[in-house]
A and B are shown apart, each in its own frame.
Chain A
Amino acid sequence: MFVLAMRSIRHRPGRFLATLLSAFLGAAIVMTFNSMHDTAAQDGVDPVSSETLGTAAGVVGGYGTLLVFFAVASTLTVNVRQRAAELELLRCSGATPAQIKRMVVGEAVAVALAGAALAVGPAVLGGRALLGMFQDSGQVARSVDHSFGPVALISGVDITLLAAAGAAFLAVRRVTRKSRQRSGARRLLAWAALGTGAVGACSTFALSATDEVLMAPPAYGAILLSVGFALMAPRLLSGVLSGLPLSGASGWLAVRNLRERAGHLAGILMSLIMFTAVSTATLTMQAVENDAVAASGLVKSVDAKNLETLNLTVVGIIAVFVCVMLVNSLYAATTYRSREFGQQRLAGATPGQVLGVVGAEGLILTVTGVLFGTVAALAGVVPFTVVRTDGVLPDQFFGVWVAMASIAAAATLGTSLATARQVLRTPAVGAVTLAA
């Protein structure tokens, strides 16, 4: 089966591109930050520098692991789902479920290995840049040299491989079993995330305005709430759809498509919710914090600076990563719909109407994602602002929110419409017979 796996990668490199990209990005982030551990472990590094590096690596490394798993899992799930026909064919030709599982997991591991290997170079450069950033802000001594050692390499490769193998295993099991008994566990997880998130956000009130860790509970609260919402994405989408009075053939089709494909769109909605929540919450809170420090006339301590750098780096990385994932999975999902678009055209839809359907779907997805992302972000921002300042909703919130919502909308609509346009170049008759 492994030979078959290798062969299918060699002959269809295109369809593994999405997985490769997410594995590459994930491995690069994990390695970049974990190389701070290597750097800190060198001889002659002073304790302050060492602590800064250790915190950065610990916090972002942890996030990174989660993100890699999430990203690789979502691309692999799409990938495996799109190959359902091929896997069915293999099953008909006498492959046992275990063999199919081995093949898919084997492919995923091979692709992840390639992604991790490619990521080493960028991670070395990224690590140097990160260290330089810490040195410029005076958090790490100038004398410290960057080191890319065993911790970075092993953790990067291991995490990526583990995430790929695990995600492939789960994805293929879901396809070959054709049952959905996991929704119970998912719902439990969603409620757990929402509950902990709410507790985290509320616990902000227990802290005083000058506590250094003040930003942590609301930030984690917002992130957890967004994870909870993300896990419930299909149900939230159905809820929004039932209240939509859309007229016109395109809107009509869009609503019906989304309703039936709600489960498949969870990944995209997840990215949207998490992007909006994490970026809006963190950037707003940092802005509030900066203004509060400036107002009090104090100079920031190294720790405070540390936190700011970390916050901005974390949010930057998460935002870019999630954005790439969003584009990645939307592209994969839209390309896959070539046959469906062909069927719509044969039923009498003009290319403009097909694009209208895609646009309406993108719009509904964006609005839903941004809506719940905003709720999660507010759950973090409001408690923080109440405790840190006298206000409830900071002035900075609106600007940040508009910027983040626009990026989310541009990424979603831009990717799906551009991809659909490209897909529509295939004549309708060719498109419906292509995959059959």
Chain B
Amino acid sequence: MTMFRTRARGDHDTGPAPEALRLVKVSRTYGTADSAVTALDGVTLGLGRGTFTAVMGPSGSGKSTLLQCAAGLDRPDSGIVYVDGTELTGGTEAELTKFRRGRVGFVFQQYNLLETLTVAQNTVLPLKLAGRRVDKRRAREILTAVGLGDRLGHFPGELSGGQRQRVAIARALVTEPRVIFADEPTGALDTRSARQVMRLLQEAVRVHGRTVVMVTHDPVAASYAESVLFLADGRLAGRLDAPTPDAVAERLAHLGDDVTAGV
């Protein structure tokens, strides 16, 4: 397998790619033979730098698969994924992990914070693992920005769901990744906490210039994004710019009616 890398990790900040994420004819099938399920069916899309995109669709439409393939957590059966202009290659998990470091950050529905580490330790963990210098002051700044400056020494078990998700966002921001992938980030939160989390993701895009791709079920959460991509049966089924909750809900309700591809 050849490593096709247009640019090395070091000079990211001098010349970032115009497109933060590009998928070309990405397909992913689970299972074998007659029980095979096509989760992604030749999806092609490109997302510009500094954009905030929500991916929506009914259950089983391939949203999560799309996110996992784009983030290098899963390998597509065919097609190419570019993150920040670099092709996602590498066969082993270690290679994929090293690719993700510094390029990709995650926010999950279930937070996925390590229970044995404090808020501050959880936040700097990706830096530690990547062998990068740990800037404690910077970590504290980020945690203060998400409203947890006074919770540095707490353990995740001592925090509310909304607070845990904010720690997860701080952790995703600390490595200064090109793209932040969020999988149902508000799925387990009350409306107030969900609003805070969505504002923070918005800030990550507007203030810090990150690119955010978010999978969600919730039209209200999706309305914080700049545009919404709809997915049905593993294919793109439309796009909505400057979404409002009502428009998103309306579109979702009629997603099955007109299966037209194209973005």
Contacts and interface: CB of A to CB of B under 8 A. Distances in A.
B74 interface: yes
A346 interface: yes
Interface string B97-117: 110110000101010111111
Interface in B58-75: 68, 73-74
Contacts of B115: 260, 340
Interface stretch (A9-17, A71-79, A311-319, A424-432): A424-432
A347 B110 contact: no
Contacts of A7: none
B108 A432 contact: yes
Contacts of A428: 73, 93
B128 interface: yes
A429 B68 contact: yes
Contact of A344 (B73, B114, B130): B114
Contacts of A249: 128-129, 131
Given A260-B116, A345-B97, A352-B94, 10 more contacts: A249-B129, A343-B113, A346-B73, A347-B112, A347-B125, A347-B129, A348-B129, A350-B98, A351-B97, A429-B73
Interface in B110-150: 110, 112-117, 121, 125-126, 128-131
A256 B121 contact: yes
A349 B93 CA distance: 10
A295 interface: no
Interface of B: 68, 73-74, 93-94, 97-98, 100-101, 106, 108, 110, 112-117, 121, 125-126, 128-131, 155, 171, 175
A347 B112 CA distance: 9
Contacts of A429: 68, 73-74
Contacts of B73: 346, 427-429
A140 B80 CA distance: 78
A436 B128 contact: no
Given A429-B68, A432-B110, A349 B74 contact: no
B129 to A, nearest CB: 4
Contacts of A346: 73, 106, 108, 112
B114 A347 contact: yes
Given A429-B68, A429-B74, A349 B117 contact: no
19 contacts: A259-B116, A342-B112, A343-B113, A344-B114, A346-B106, A346-B108, A346-B112, A347-B112, A347-B114, A348-B126, A349-B97, A350-B93, A350-B94, A351-B93, A353-B129, A427-B73, A427-B74, A428-B93, A429-B73
B29 to A, nearest CB: 16
Given A249-B128, A260-B116, A436 B94 contact: no
Contacts of B94: 350-352
B238 to A, nearest CB: 27
Interface string A107-147: 00000000000000000000000000000000000000000
A433 interface: yes
A257 interface: yes
Contacts of A252: 128
Most B CB contacts (10 A, CB to CB) among A340, A345, A351 go to A345
A354 to B, nearest CB: 10
B101 A432 contact: no
Interface string A253-269: 10011011100000000
A87 B55 CA distance: 36
A340 B114 contact: yes
A356 to B, nearest CB: 10
B41 to A, nearest CB: 20
Nearest to B97: A350
A347 B126 contact: yes
A343 B98 contact: no
A348 B112 contact: no
Contacts of A256: 116-117, 121
